[in-house]
Structure 1
Amino acid sequence: MTSQIQHSRRIAFDRQCGKCYYCGLRMWLDGPVGPSALRCTAEHLIPRSEGGGDGLSNIVAACLHCNQTRHKRKKPPEPDRYRAEVRKRVSRGAWLPKPILAWGSASMSTA
C-alpha cells in the first residue's frame, strides 16, 4: 500500500519526465539504478510546517542532492529562486561531481 506522499512523488516524477524539478537532471525512482544523489524524493513547495500538504499541487519530484542541499540552509530559499541558482551551477558543471552529472545528463533512452 502506498501513502499519499509516495503517490504524489510518482505522479510528479512522471509529470516531470523523470527529471529533477531543481537541477533538471535525470533521476531514478525504483532501483537503485543510478547514483544515490539522483534518487527521486518528494519535495514540498510549501513546507508542511507552513501549511503545505502532500497533494499533487504542492509536491514536485527532486533529486536527493537538491532536496537535501536546499534544506541544509538556515533558511531554505524559495523554490523558484533555488531552481534558478541550481540550474546556473549545473550549466557551469559545478553542481555535482562530473560522473554523477554525466549520468544525470544522459538521454532517458539509455536508462
Structure 2
Amino acid sequence: MPKTLARLRTLAFQHQSGRCYYCCCPMWQKSPEAFAATFHLSKRQAHTLQCTAEHLHARVDGGGDFESNIVAACRLCNARRHQRKDARDAIHHKAHVARLMGRKRWHDPWVFEKVLHSGAGR
C-alpha cells in the first residue's frame, strides 16, 4: 500500500474512533494479537476485522487517494462491497449493511456475541 494511502487509512481510523465505516464494529490496525486477546477471538476471526482503506468513490470510477474519499472499513465490509458484479455505491452499501446488522445477519454470529456485546467493544 502506498504511504499516502496508509496515512489516509490511519487518519480515517482515528477519525472514526477505530470503527468500521459500514458496520461500526471495532477494528484493529497494528496488532491482531492484542485485538484477538481483547475480544477472545482466533487469529482468523481477528483478520476479518482488520482495518482497510476504502475508497468511497472507487479508483476504477475515477476516485483518488485523498482524505475526503478514504474511510476505514473492516476487511469483510470492504470485500463484500466489491464482490458484487455491480458494486453498490458507498451510501447504498452502508444502508444495506445497517439493515443486515440490525438483523444480525451481516457478520458471523461470533461478531455479535464476542465483539459487539463485549464491554471492550464500546
TM-score by length of 1: 0.89
The RMSD of aligned alpha carbons is 1.5
Question: For 1:64-103, what aligned pairs fall within 5 Å after superposition?
Answer: 64-103=75-114
Partners of 1:6 and 1:62 in 2: CA distance = 13
Partner of 1:101, secondary structure, is helix
Instruction: Describe the shift of the 1:8–1:97 C-alpha distance in structure 2 as closer, same or farther (beyond 3 A).
Output: same
List, as ranges, runs of 4+ consecutive aligned residues in structure 1 with deviation greater than 2 Å.
Answer: 100-104
- The yes-or-no answer on 1:26 pairing with 2:26 is yes
**Unaligned stretches of 5+ in structure 1?**
none
Higher helix fraction: Structure 1 or Structure 2? Answer: 2
Cα offset, 1:103, TM superposition: 3.8
Kindly provide the CA deviation profile for residues 67-110 of structure 1, in whole angstroms up to 9, marking residues without a partner as x: 00110100110111110110111111111112123344234xx3
Give the deviation of 1:4 after TM superposition: 0.3
Higher alpha-carbon deviation: 92-101 or 58-67: 92-101
Q: Provide the identity percentage.
A: 38
TM-score, L = length of structure 2: 0.82
